[in-house]
Chain A
């Protein structure tokens, strides 16, 4: 231990005004910040935690949906995804995603990301290790002149008299909860999805804060029924990294084999078995010769086993299924144009905060489609937000601004006794267990909604502020966001009386062509759903349209 003053990174002052404000510092937020800055915008990026470690990507890493231009690979992959995604994807979005990802990953290589090199000397660029990737992104963002503000969760959006989003406000949790406000010409939500604080790897910062703020201003969401992705974790922890379970044999308590590998039907059988008893896995299908490559590819998968002294190749270990919610699900804020605008003017969304149905459909975007989506949607949102801010009339710099935040922030009535943690627990009771959220029935969904809907007015009325800590409002806001997500999720699940992709209705196991439509959801006091009128733009439809455009 050394004496003297400790070295701290200097605290960055929060600019009062910025052309573009990015909320969230994961991949989507950092690509958004770079996209806006490269178009000359002054950019501020605010993260709840720390840009570089926050969120799913930094902790877990991801593969990318990364295919070379030219040749048949992309066409083939898009066609395959259209089928596996339950016919809810959009062909044009998939191709532009692949284009954007290809270019962006080339930039990563130029910036010095240490990709592995194959025998012929070319780099393999379809996998990004999380800590390395996000440390590099933070450096690039700072080098681009972006003001990066860490440990400063946003609590609400600010709007001008015309209802255009003109900034955000929040608190600095390492500065005694001091409040901040940034006025901005456009705001990008890159706040991640909602994983209900399940403990899944890196996901506890993902409490759905952005969608709550957006919904308060009337934004709607889409695909929220596809929010029931569960990761596999050793029972002692919650490290949800799935890829290595392709080498697993899954067994019941008595040793009966349930499934092996990651065949979707097989994993489902294991999940069904887990409803009734402890289930186990062992990576016994991995030949000794491949084990070193496994370790170097995903060190964070093996680290927990090494630390606890369990050899996952040599003996079986109990596993559990941990909800990854909308982070590895599909649903989020509905985007209304190619620049990732939401339904609220001045407000853009990127990454897991936005619905990924156009590129993943009804199945998980896993780490690959979602990883590419973060890059591409962030870049698009950054460019579009910069354009929006630069073409916007100058009054936004002086216009009076209204605070958009309501429930969990501004009590409507006298505060009650309920604590934020009580609300989170009640929500988790209904959304985390496989029996409620993986294997759905109309009756059970209604029962959940009865509980959750009854909580809403209590939360909106006002939770207790008994502890007097100014930072506690973050907890109540997070609890409010999680409750809102649970209600959107189950209302959407009720509105889809069929089985499609990850959405499994045990009372309606068939897939119904009439429901090859996206489902929109929105509202807070009253939650509504609506089946999209237009079918998604699939291969055939889009080809027709393309020939019409010179």
Chain B
């Protein structure tokens, strides 16, 4: 679920409010949008993909992060370079190459259809 909107990164553009498919955010009168309905978050990471300043962090948990979790701690996340992670894979953002250019799903669909004989392990 969405855990962090970084105050220092956010430019108050409101794109996350627009694009969230489950309407989790609200605009605020001054300052960054707020996480108004966290329980509606479906952990789809789309807000991260669309945030132009990498200001959002969606924890990969199906429920809210426990109190004190590093997954809700902006400084800890910043230290681990967690902001903007999905956009780097997608290749979204100025000067990046779309990640889809490196898509090799054909290898995996073919392999799923006719799995190799299991090697001895």
Contact = CB atoms under 8 A, between A and B. Distances in A.
Interface of A: 1-3, 6-9, 48-50, 52-55, 58-59, 63, 113-117, 124, 126-129, 131-132, 150-151, 173-174, 199, 201-205, 236-239, 243-244, 246, 260-263, 284-285, 290, 293-300, 303-308, 368
Contact of B14 (A6, A243, A260, A307): A6
Size bracket, chain B contacts: 35 or more
B17 interface: yes
B101 A299 contact: no
Contact of A202 (B12, B15, B44, B121): B44
B62 A199 contact: yes
Interface string B84-117: 0110011010000011111111111101100100
A127 B101 contact: no
A236 B86 contact: no
A204 B111 contact: no
Contacts of B8: 1
B18 A8 contact: yes
B34 interface: no
Contacts of B90: 129, 131-132, 299
A3 B30 CA distance: 8
B101 A303 contact: no
A151 B23 CA distance: 7
A59 B105 CA distance: 16
Given A6-B27, A202-B42, A297-B108, A1 B102 contact: no
A324 B55 CA distance: 31
Contacts of B22: 49, 204-205
Contact of A262 (B12, B89, B102, B112): B112
Tell me if B's interface is mostly helix, strand, loop or mixed: loop
A297 B103 contact: yes
B97 to A, nearest CB: 8
Interface string B17-41: 1111111000100111000000010
A6 B12 contact: yes
A282 to B, nearest CB: 12
Contact of B103 (A48, A296, A304): A296
A174 B17 contact: yes
A204 B104 contact: no
A95 to B, nearest CB: 20
B85 A306 contact: yes
Interface of B: 7-8, 10-15, 17-23, 27, 30-32, 40, 42-46, 49-50, 59-62, 71, 82, 85-86, 89-90, 92, 98-109, 111-112, 115, 118, 121
B71 A53 contact: no
Contacts of B106: 124, 126-127
Nearest to A8: B14
16 contacts: A49-B21, A58-B21, A114-B100, A115-B101, A124-B103, A131-B46, A174-B23, A199-B42, A199-B43, A204-B22, A236-B62, A237-B62, A246-B111, A298-B105, A300-B89, A304-B60
Given A202-B42, A238-B62, A246-B108, A129 B17 contact: no
Given A53-B50, A129-B99, A237 B104 contact: no
B60 A307 contact: yes
Contact of B98 (A132, A151, A246): A132
Given A52-B19, A297-B107, A303-B45, 17 more contacts: A1-B32, A7-B14, A49-B20, A49-B23, A53-B19, A63-B109, A124-B106, A126-B106, A127-B103, A127-B109, A131-B90, A201-B42, A204-B22, A237-B60, A294-B108, A297-B104, A368-B109
Nearest to A128: B100
A315 B75 CA distance: 28
B30 to A, nearest CB: 8
B75 to A, nearest CB: 16
A54 B22 CA distance: 8
B45 A300 contact: yes
A28 B35 CA distance: 30
B61 A237 contact: yes
Contacts of B61: 236-237, 308
Contacts of B30: 3
A260 B104 contact: no
Contacts of B27: 6, 8
B12 A2 contact: yes
Contacts of B111: 246
A2 B99 contact: no
B105 A303 contact: no
Most buried by A among B8, B20, B42: B42
Contacts of A260: 118
A526 to B, nearest CB: 33
Contact of B108 (A128, A131, A243): A243
Nearest to B87: A131
A117 B17 CA distance: 35
Contacts of A236: 60-62
Given A59-B44, A299-B86, A173 B59 contact: no
B55 to A, nearest CB: 10
Contacts of A306: 85
A243 B105 contact: yes
B83 to A, nearest CB: 11
B24 to A, nearest CB: 10
A296 B104 CA distance: 7
Contacts of A6: 12-14, 27
A293 B101 CA distance: 11
B104 A116 contact: yes
Contacts of A129: 90, 99-100, 103
B86 A204 contact: no
A447 B76 CA distance: 49
Given A126-B105, A131-B92, A299 B99 contact: yes
Contacts of A116: 100-104
A117 B10 contact: no
A366 to B, nearest CB: 9
Contacts of A307: 59-60, 71, 82, 85
A294 B59 CA distance: 22
B96 to A, nearest CB: 11
